[in-house]
Each structure stands twice: as C-alpha cells, then as structure tokens.
Amino acid sequence: MSVIRHGYVPCSASKGVRSAYVAAMNEGDVTVVAPDLVGLLVREAKEVGHEAAVVVVANDVDGPPLGALTWPGVWIVKAQEPAAGAHVRRWDNVRVTYGRIDGNEAGDREPRLPPLSPHDREAHAQPEDS
C-alpha cells in the first residue's frame, strides 16, 4: 500500500480543529482515516464525517436515518464504530451511538435575575417602617 496524499481537512463544524486524513491506494480502492466524532454534536459529526469522506449513520443502519432519529433536540455522539483512526474505504459508514443533551432544549429566553445576597434577602424579608 502506498500513500498517495496526506494532510488535514479543515473542519468548520469543530470550530477550527483540523481533522487528519490519509488516502492510500490499495488495488484501486481509496481508504481514509475515520475522524474522531465522540463528543461532537450529531450535526457537527455529520459535517466532520463528510469532510473526512465518510458517512455518519445511526448504529442501526437498516432503521430510520440519523437526522430523523435526532430531531428535534440537541444530541451528542457518545461512541463510534469503527474507532477514530481506523482505515476505512472512502464513503463507508461510520456508525455512531448518540444521546440527548439534558437541559432546556426549548430555548427558554426568559431573563433570569441574579440571586439575592443574604443582606438583600434580610432587607426584603423585613417590612419597612412608614
């Protein structure tokens, strides 16, 4: 196997982090290195996978597409197969396990007041003399 090119793919989804790739020739097949997707948001992982020339899919490849399974809400990649750094054929599937990020997925925009200091709590608790 001889390396025909190597370098970095810029990954806009991972905020400037570069994803390494290696392309090699093996009897006419081009292989690439699976990127590290664990810890990325699913939508970011799909972009990084595309830039690294792999297809990011749900663990059950015969089930619904990943986009349908992770909408609505915010989802994070918890595991991947094959592992980051493994050599795979170009545009092969990288299966991911994902989970929903707990929190306020509804995007609550209500302003929050800072908590009162102990002194302010005492002042609000005692009625003022008139």
User: How many domains is the chain built from?
Assistant: 1
Range of the domain at 32: 2-102
The reported pLDDT for the residue numbered 19 is 47
The reported pLDDT for the residue numbered 80 is 97
- pLDDT tens-digit readout, 39-52: 999 999 999 999 99
Give the rounded percent of residues in the chain with a pLDDT score beyond 90: 51
Residue 107 counted as domain residue:
no
Q: Which of 19, 20, 30, 22 is nearest to 5 (CA)?
A: 22
More confident residue, 61 or 24: 61
Q: Are 101 and 74 in contact (CB under 8 A)?
A: yes
Residue 19 counted as domain residue:
yes
Residue 10 counted as domain residue:
yes
Decide if pLDDT at 109 tops 80.
no
More confident residue, 23 or 75: 75
Residue 33 counted as domain residue:
yes
Residue 130 counted as domain residue:
no
Average of per-residue pLDDT across 100-113: 62
Residue 111 counted as domain residue:
no
Whether residue 82 has a cis bond before it, omega within 30° of 0: yes
Decide if pLDDT at 5 tops 60.
no
Rounded Cα–Cα distance for residues 116 and 110 (Å): 18
**Which amino acid appears at position 6 of this protein?**
H
Residue 55 counted as domain residue:
yes
Decide if pLDDT at 110 tops 90.
no
Residue 128 counted as domain residue:
no
